[in-house]
Amino acid sequence: MSYVVPKESYNGKVLSLDFGKGEKALVIGGENCLPFLSFEGELPNRPVIACEIQDIAPEDWPDTVKNVYKDVSSDPVTWAKYCQNELKAKAIALRLVSTHPDRENHSAEDAAKTIKDVLSSIDVPLIILGSNHIEKDASVLVAAAEAASGYNCIIGKAQEGNYKTIVAAALAHNHKLIAMSELDINLAKQLNILITQMGFDKERLITDPMCSALGYGLEYTYSVMERIRLAGLFQNDATMQPPILGDVGMYVWKVKETVASGSDVPEWGQLEERGVAWEAMTATAMIISGTNLLIMRHPKAIEIVEKTVAELF
């Protein structure tokens, strides 16, 4: 008797979302089965990895990743072009850290100029991220949405404390939107509902339930993302069907395992290899849990995850 592979049946489907324009535009989501289980359904689009850059040189990145970009990170335009042309990044995520009140406190107008300069120098899709300061992001992302009008960008992150103004800006300038909640499936669902009640199409929404690094709550993050995906597929819950974002790099490159030198903990091995492995393993866990879009930092980690995705597909 031949072996028959057991198969699950699904009632729902992950919504597909496109961003960028022209030949380099990308599409994520669209699957109607769990990650990489192609024998149970359709997986039309691979997860996408965006290479993170910042609008100022990063001071809080460890040298093992900061040194990779030391010749280009002082200028976001040069950095963006390097990622596109040299690293062959499929998408770029620009984080406007300089606008944070505790950093340079740059204005929304400053951020808008940076965005226009970066967009004019690249042709891959752009993700525009605020500084994660709720009050400041409300004004910065409004200006960012206007500056990027016509480019079909992803902007974020809209949170419970500022989503109304950011949603309105994304609506006005026809962008996609990241909705971020704090590691709770009910909070993620509630925020998605609030945003769609403003008239924002759920097919233009990306859910960010927050991320965490390997060894620092990864299993909890994985569980939340997996439950979101199960609700969308098995229960056909429309509020849980947008693609999922994993903002991996910012959480990985600050934990002890990616910054402690080999002389301090020689049994842990070489520092750079350890850091690359930490980011790659965290990102791989994210895509297996259902993440459709990753934001990463180290080119070697990105290369490893791209290879893993290719093999799983």
- pLDDT given at position 146: 97
Task: Determine the 3-state secondary structure of 198 from DSSP.
Answer: coil
State both tokens at 289.
């849990």
pLDDT in tens, the chain (313 residues): 788 888 888 999 999 999 999 999 999 999 999 999 999 999 999 999 999 999 999 999 999 999 999 999 999 999 999 999 999 999 999 999 999 999 999 999 999 999 999 999 999 999 999 999 999 999 999 999 999 999 999 999 999 999 999 999 999 999 999 999 998 999 999 999 999 999 999 999 999 999 999 999 999 999 999 999 999 999 999 999 999 999 999 999 999 999 998 888 999 989 999 999 999 999 999 999 999 999 999 999 999 999 999 999 8
Task: Determine the 3-state secondary structure of 145 from DSSP.
Answer: helix
Q: In this structure, what CATH number is given to the domain that contains residue 230?
A: 3.20.20.20
Tally of structural domains, the chain: 1
Q: Which contacts qualify for 308-311: CB closer than 8 Å, 24 or more apart? A: 308/280, 308/284, 309/46, 309/47
* Structural domain of 241: 17-312
Instruction: Give a yes or no: residue 278 inside a domain.
Output: yes
* Beta strand ranges found along the chain (DSSP E): 17-19, 26-28, 48-54, 91-95, 126-129, 154-158, 176-180, 205-208, 245-247, 293-296
Residue type, 189: K
Phi and psi, residue 4, nearest 5°:
-110, 120
Instruction: Give a yes or no: residue 48 inside a domain.
Output: yes
Instruction: Give a yes or no: residue 9 inside a domain.
Output: no
- pLDDT given at position 313: 84
**Local structure of residue 14 (DSSP, 8 states):** P
Cβ count within 10 A of residue 9: 10
- pLDDT given at position 5: 84
- pLDDT given at position 196: 97
What is the chain's percent helix, strand, coil content, to nearest 5? 45, 15, 40
- Residue 249 and residue 295: Cα distance in Å, rounded? 6
C-beta separation of 141 from 169 below 8 A: yes
- pLDDT given at position 2: 86
Instruction: Give a yes or no: residue 169 inside a domain.
Output: yes
Q: Tell me which residue has tokens 């002890």.
A: 256
Instruction: Give a yes or no: residue 5 inside a domain.
Output: no
Q: Dihedral sign, CA of 201, 14, 150, 167? A: positive
- pLDDT given at position 133: 96
pTM of the entire predicted model: 0.95
Instruction: Give a yes or no: residue 134 inside a domain.
Output: yes
Q: Tell me which residue has tokens 């990616």.
A: 258
Instruction: Give a yes or no: residue 271 inside a domain.
Output: yes
Instruction: Give a yes or no: residue 7 inside a domain.
Output: no
